[in-house]
Amino acid sequence: MGGIKTEIYKKIGMMEFLPSVDSALFCPTALSQRSDNTVVFPGFCDVHVHFREPGFSYKEKITTGSAAAARGGYTAVCTMPNLNPVPDSVENLRAQLDIIERDAVIDVLPYGAITVGERGEALADLEGMAGDVVAFSDDGRGVQDEAMMREAMLRAKKLGKLIVAHCEDNSLLHGGYIHDGVYAKEHGHRGICSQSEWGPIKRDIELCRETGCGYHVCHISTKESVELIRRAKAEGVDVTCETAPHYLVMDDSDLREDGRFKMNPPLRDKADREALLEGIKDGTIDMISTDHAPHSAEEKAKGLEKSAFGIVGIETAFPVLYTKLVKTGFISMERLMELLVINARKRFNIPFRKNDYTVWDLDAEFTVDPADFLSLGRATPFEGWKLSGVCLLTVKDGKAVYQKG
């Protein structure tokens, strides 16, 4: 379509997936409002979201979560297993798959749990679920037992599946709920130490080296985590990792006495943020996921101590990253596409499709207003931020699944 730029496909080596952008898919409002800096991107891919069904549909539904993802430019997401029932068996997984097949407007690919009920006491039915899940994870809970994780890796390797780890040592938490840093000390909060994250990563890297299993680390937030993964990669260990937008553009100096600043892992120190940014630049960090984790307004209205862990972010991820990392010249748009599209799909074997794409007006500006979200979740630390980049259209399998206006 005239005036819409497609050069990014050539720059990232995806010309074979270049779509024919059909002007008929645009509503008149979107067409009339777009600027001359309107760009087509491949559909983004997020390997870490929480869409809350089955079990917690008052927080989010597959319908609302996938609609919010489409608005954010995503055509594929992977949903974490902390649900009810937990997808730890073929039967329990089917409860989620049925909802996805009925309600999702984009590709929604579920994880299977590593352990039964995510309780860490017995391995789930990995073999039975393998054909219908993208990988295995106990996200929301770290696998505490080393022997249990070793056996999970051995079985996952035989199945050709990744182990995807929420790394958290429960023995080091001590009731903490924000980073154990300056803000916690000055305001009388209980802190979560960095070792609670990097300690399990160190253990799991050795298990990965021993078993040969593909291993992916969720939402890293500490400088030690970056360095451990950097070294492991240099030594040929089959490890990848992700971080989230909020860890790259905020740290614990940005905290407020508000539940919308509470997530797990927490916002860390400035030095941790700087190490994550360096990991983005040098390739240590493979992808950026949102950890989109909606809760009800009541669950997020209890301050830092008592609010539920988790924030929403799938509708703001690209504008935050484009505004703060690309427009500032810190990384190129090509590197951002590696982080949002290419690396996640390659690592998790999620196919590229020619008719999955998203169209953005990069010159359009907006102020983040949670009341405008399609997600049921409203808790975002980016509320009130002025950002660049507005999604005009997202297309899945040749059909418009989101269009502005």
Domain ranges of the chain: 44-356
**pLDDT at residue 20, as a whole number:** 86
Is 218:242 a contact under the CB 8 Å cutoff? yes
What is the chain's mean pLDDT, rounded? 96
Is residue 291 part of the annotated active site? The answer reads yes
CA distances from 261 to 240, 265, 324, 381 (A): 27, 11, 19, 6
For residue 266, what are the contacts with CB-CB under 8 A and spacing of at least 6?
A: 177, 178, 179, 192, 221, 252
**pLDDT at residue 225, as a whole number:** 98
**pLDDT at residue 31, as a whole number:** 61
Better-predicted residue by pLDDT, 271 or 31: 271
Is 132:97 a contact under the CB 8 Å cutoff? yes
Q: What is the pLDDT of residues 199-211, one digit of tens each?
A: 999 999 999 999 9
Is 403:374 a contact under the CB 8 Å cutoff? no
For residue 114, what are the contacts with CB-CB under 8 A and spacing of at least 6?
A: 123, 124, 126, 136, 137, 138, 143, 149, 152, 163
**pLDDT at residue 352, as a whole number:** 96
**pLDDT at residue 131, as a whole number:** 98
How many whole angstroms separate alpha carbon 397 and alpha carbon 75?
9
**pLDDT at residue 17, as a whole number:** 95
* Averaged pLDDT for residues 322-349: 98
How many whole angstroms separate alpha carbon 220 and alpha carbon 233?
15
**pLDDT at residue 331, as a whole number:** 98
**If pLDDT is split at 50, 70 and 90, which confidence band does 72 have?**
very high
Strands (E) in 297-377, as ranges, are 357-367
- Identify any residues that bridge with 42 across adjacent strands, giving them in sequence order: 357
Q: Where are the alpha helices (DSSP H) in 13-124?
A: 28-33, 62-71, 90-103
Give residue 328's Cα distance to chain centre.
Answer: 23
* Averaged pLDDT for residues 131-154: 97
Task: Measure the CA dihedral 380/381/384/389, to 10°.
Answer: -70
Is 308:241 a contact under the CB 8 Å cutoff? no
Fold of the 44-356 domain: TIM Barrel (3.20.20)
Q: Where are the alpha helices (DSSP H) in 53-181?
A: 62-71, 90-103, 126-129, 146-159
Which residue among the candidates 269, 291, 356, 361 is catalytic per the annotation?
A: 291
Structure tokens at 290: 């949102």
Please give the DSSP secondary-structure letter assigned to residue 292.
Answer: B
* Averaged pLDDT for residues 184-206: 98
Q: What is the pLDDT of residues 360-403, one digit of tens each?
A: 999 999 999 999 999 999 999 999 999 999 999 999 999 999 99
**pLDDT at residue 126, as a whole number:** 98
Phi, psi (degrees; rounded to nearest 5) at 302:
-115, 25
Q: What is the pLDDT of residues 246-294, one digit of tens each?
A: 999 999 999 999 999 999 999 999 999 999 999 999 999 999 999 999 9
**pLDDT at residue 30, as a whole number:** 63
Q: What is the pLDDT of residues 74-113, one digit of tens each?
A: 999 999 999 999 999 999 999 999 999 999 999 999 999 9
Closest CA to 247 of 228, 265, 226, 227: 265
Is 217:240 a contact under the CB 8 Å cutoff? yes
Structure tokens at 99: 């909802």
Q: Per-residue pLDDT for 333 more than 90?
A: yes
